[in-house]
Structure 1
Amino acid sequence: MTTRQVLYLRRELRIGPTDGSERLDRALARLLPEFSRSCIQRWIEAGQILVDGRPCRSRDPVFGGESISITAELTPVDEHRPQAITLNIVYEDPHLLVIHKPAGLVVHPAAGNPDGTLQNALLHHDPALATLPRAGIVHRLDKETSGLMVVARTLEAHCALVEQLRQRLVYREYRALVQGALVAGGRIEAPIGRHPTQRTRMAVVSHGRPAVTHYRVLESLPGHTFLAVRLETGRTHQIRVHLAHIHHPLVGDQTYGARPRPPRGASPQLIAALQHFPRQALHAIRLGLIHPQRGREMQWEIPLAADLAALLDLLRREQAHGMADA
């Protein structure tokens, strides 16, 4: 009989300033985004989380400044089964995996996608990841966003990468094709939170969490602009929401975009390509971090996704034939 290895999460945290009181479980869910709220609630109920040295209930209020001590047993991710899904592994060592996620692959199992996800694929590739929160996944890409993601393979690496993300030390650069003409780069600083009436969407809202996105113009194309985008923070749907907020939504974004706007004089081929582009035109092209065990900076870059590259080539060809940029 084999003995299951027991891993413990040990953290010392402090609740930041809040607007009035906030439930303990909700405050901790913000501080520990790599864990589900139900998991945090289990730890609170089991007395594995102390607030100023005392056990509390999930619904107890916090007001900011409280000291949080966590000594929690991590349970294996056994509710999600391993599946033999092909992974495009860019880098691998005993501590990290860097994955090139294709568009269309969901990161975590959820109600609408119970399997067939990146997490299922990771559990097949390395069964030991079942002992880590979310199978080692420390950040995510939307289903229809392609590109680079890092996955931790040990608890120590997981904690180190989460801390790097918290301190904004992880470098994430994207390529984005947006509607309209942008003539210069810029910085978007606007808080993001749940949409007040459409709960499946995010929005720029006054009570949202701080969010900062940087962008620069790489290429001006007919009726569109090709951007390099860098995340300073990592809110849900951040790039999509911020670009839509400045009235330059991503091509193909069915949630935050407008209808396709082919430029004047567009060929039937370009009109069809813009109208039927199957996803948001967003690709995580570059990733940089400090190796959690070796302590040195590492960076990876991958080619542009084939579908986005093909659409750019089509825009360039038509621009070369004298199409209007407006």
Structure 2
Amino acid sequence: MVDTIFPGIVARRVETPRLVAGVLERPADDPSTTVVFVHGNVSSSLFWQPMMLSLPPRVASFAVDLRGFGDSETLPVDATRGVRDFSDDVASVIDALGLGAVHLVGWSMGGGVVMQLLLDRPELVASLTLQSTVSPFGFGGTGLDGSLVTADAAGTGGGGANPDFVARLAAGDRSDDAGSPRAVYRSSYVAPGFVSEHEDVWVESMLSTATGLDNYPGDSRPSADWPGFAPGGRGVLNTMAPTVFDTSGIVELAAKPPVLWIHGAQDAIVGDASFFDLNQLGAAGIIPGWPGADAAPPQPMIAQTRAVLARYSAAGGRVTELEFENCGHSPHLEHPETFRDGLVAHLSD
């Protein structure tokens, strides 16, 4: 079994009123800054270790496992609350550790989690860093302004997961077969050609994902609209359905902490033509019966995030965007020095 905890990282479990959470810590002797990292879907805090270790000694860093991932309890995810089960859990860990206001770094789904935390507990947020973040309007099923393409957000949520991939996660598949977690990591988490000496650790992190209707991917319900299903109310993927997820309200906050948005130009998961968006798969002819761009347009994810952050900036918030070339969904792994430099500068502002 691969050793998943890097030297210099302390693994602990933190009991809160909401859950027992797995937490990784890179301690600082005399910290002047505290960063809390939040992972994305089908991953865990393990992915953050190299970045935690690379930060200056004055920075104390923590990485929290969301419920049903990593070393945290496997508890049901109530998707009718959007991502609030996750964001409330992270807030409970921050409270339990007595950290006060922290610099939050959220990756992919974790970007949505930290935006939601800002909306609900702004006193806990000194700044936001959004890495390859889910759009403020959720994942799939919306136009540029965030409006729903269909009333029930057909084609989004738990029904969009690949059943074979879910089965491979549940079975602990460590192979490099097509469709395995390792193959998905290589094809979707990073840009083509990227190689990591820690790939076995990243696969273990992915395999820590709890599967089932209450966790990943969640349930679905029938829809009269293509492709025939709509989001349900349980599980991970439904938390980002646009019927329940909308963090664009950060624009209206009275106090606006600075935001750093980092994303890769070759991101296969979050993009204006994401192949994890079923409408894009329909447009490409991969899923049959696509009713056309008027009825089922791909979601312009990057354009949506850029538009919301432009409004945030116009309303008085400070926003910095960094787009990395030759980079997929994981800038902190693929371009660690550039990511670290951008993050440290952001923390110092």
Scaled by the length of structure 2, what TM-score is found? 0.25
Q: Which has the higher strand share?
A: 1
Structure number with larger C-alpha Rg: 1
Q: Which has the higher helix share?
A: 2
Scaled by the length of structure 1, what TM-score is found? 0.26
